[in-house]
Amino acid sequence: MEPVNTGVTDADRDGSGTPDTASGETAAPDKPDAPTLGQLLLAVEELWPESLAENWDEVGLVAGRPASPVTRVMFAVDPTLEVIEEAVEWGAELLITHHPLLLKGVTSVAATSAKGKAIHRLIESGTALLTVHTNGDSAVGGVSDVLADALGLEDVAPLTAATNGLPEEGIGRVGELSEVTSLGEFAARVFGILPSVAGGVRVSGDKDGLVRRVAVCGGAGDSLFNEVRASNADVYVTADLRHHPASEAREEAVNGRPYLIDVSHFASEWLWLPAAASALGNVLADQGHDVEIQVSTTNSDPWDFILTPG
């Protein structure tokens, strides 16, 4: 995306090019318009409040000093070593990823494991890491909202309402297509909006069956079948559909519905990154901060090729 350059900051009311402070000192002499990491976290909290995260989740700052200035932010789905390298090479002082690097307890971050190497590379390069995970899923403009929007859904509502949020916040979304279409055509639309990955898109259901009401959940959504059925969706788009939940959902189907569309976990969440980058850029610009924001170009989908009978 285009760098966000807002020019004069709120803190530079005299137009001198440096922030005005009571003592006349500058907070960050070499980067006068850069927010601190701590200030940037406030903007993140405004968009994706940590209170929206699921109980089991670990969101927030993983590495970094709140007092450090941030001039470049990169968004990515996964904090893999390749993604971290990309952020470091671009000069990002902050990497925001959807998935947590450390979700389970650790007793060592020695650089003898991949996660230890990641922590070392981040700290040694001065790159902060922030997780926006299920809070980014649940929020308005979150992962499933962006997916619903990209598919052209209207009258969109959450599949499950957020415990600590607004009625329009929560996990998954359900909405209506503007007109009835066939499952085959709708699957092609799903395929068309997602970044290209090896696994493609898998569909369960009658290709000529008609669909209008669509449920979506970016990332792994096979725990939401009850909510999907309750929503009367004709088709459910999500990722990581395992054999048993998918098979049982098909057995429970009424008139073949809901049909299932299984997409790449990475691809379903990647769509959110440009939208998130744009939203954060707008909030920071409103606050008078000058930050460049980019979306990672690394494909962190773990699959590289696929063999099919066709």
Least spacing, CB of residue 252 vs Zn ion, in Å: 25
The residue of the chain with the least Cβ separation from Zn ion equals 219
- Residue closer to Zn ion by CB (options 64, 221) is 221
Q: Give the binding site for Zn ion (CB under 5 A).
A: 219
- Residue closer to Zn ion by CB (options 158, 219) is 219
Cβ-based neighbour number of residue 74 at 10 Å: 27
Least spacing, CB of residue 141 vs Zn ion, in Å: 17
How far apart are the C-alpha atoms of 234 and 226, rounded to whole Å? 14
- Residue closer to Zn ion by CB (options 126, 274) is 274
Cβ-based neighbour number of residue 170 at 10 Å: 22
- Residue closer to Zn ion by CB (options 175, 219) is 219
Least spacing, CB of residue 219 vs Zn ion, in Å: 3
- Residue closer to Zn ion by CB (options 227, 269) is 269
Least spacing, CB of residue 273 vs Zn ion, in Å: 12
Angle, helix 272-286 to helix 37-47, in steps of 10 degrees: 120
Least spacing, CB of residue 147 vs Zn ion, in Å: 12
- Residue closer to Zn ion by CB (options 29, 195) is 195
**Tokens 């290709």 found at:** 207
Residue 221 identity (one-letter amino acid): G
- Residue closer to Zn ion by CB (options 142, 219) is 219
Name the β-bridge partners of 60: 131
- Residue closer to Zn ion by CB (options 77, 187) is 77
Least spacing, CB of residue 188 vs Zn ion, in Å: 24
